[in-house]
Amino acid sequence: MHIVHIEPLTIAGFAPFGDVISCEGHDFFHINDAHTERYNAIVTTQKHGQADIGISIFRNIKTTNVPFNIKMLEKHPQGSQAFIPMSGQAFLIVVAPALNDDCPDLSQIRAFVSNGKQGINYSVNTWHHPLLTLESPSDFAVIDRIGTGHNCDVFEFDLAVHIAE
């Protein structure tokens, strides 16, 4: 069984898979009579084809207990997908680079934990596990492509990958 250890979410560590959504490490400018710091366009969304960018709320109602096993990853070929915790809750992010167009490189799976003040934006075609939360219920603002056409590829694998601290 392949074991993956959870690491803190950092901008540099997550860069191959997308963007970290956080004020940390980004410049700002003042607005509203200097009452507000605006961290402008920290990430940009991506979409292909005729579609809109939508903001949804995902409420995860099942808690993930560490350690755990995974047996699948998914990717979205038509648009990026951002997850922003709405209540400051930490969550887990499991990702892998592509081995080729059809499957992830399971030997390179990585697992990150958000500090609760960080969101993430998966780049188009980034292999990832669906939302994993450490407490429930957990609400997330999700920004992604809303449109017709196929936008979710799932890769299931026989040997479980073990995610541990």
> Stretch 91-118: mean pLDDT, rounded?
97
Assigned token pair, 145:
């492509």
Mean pLDDT of the chain: 95
Domain ranges of the chain: 2-164
Spatial neighbors of 126 by CB under 8 A, at least 6 apart, are 17, 18, 75, 76, 95
In a 3-state reduction of DSSP, which class is residue 106?
helix
pLDDT higher at 1 or 98: 98
pLDDT (0 to 100) of residue 129? 98
Strand partners, 84: 141
Could you count the other beta carbons within 10 Å of the beta carbon of residue 31? 11
Question: What's the CA gap between 18 and 141, in Å, rounded?
Answer: 17
Cβ pair 99, 141 in contact under 8 A: no
> Stretch 105-134: mean pLDDT, rounded?
97
Spatial neighbors of 9 by CB under 8 A, at least 6 apart, are 20, 93, 112, 113, 114, 115, 118, 120
pLDDT (0 to 100) of residue 85? 97
Q: pLDDT tens digit string along 4-58?
A: 999 999 999 999 999 999 999 889 999 999 999 999 999 999 998 889 999 999 9
Superfamily of domain 2-164: Ureidoglycolate hydrolase (2.60.120.480)
pLDDT higher at 129 or 48: 129
The model's confidence at residue 1, banded by pLDDT at 50, 70 and 90, is confident
pLDDT (0 to 100) of residue 27? 94
Give the global pTM.
0.93
How many percent of the chain have pLDDT more than 70? 100
Q: Under the phi-then-psi rule, with left for phi > 0, alpha for psi from -120 to 50, and beta for the rest, what region is 28?
A: beta
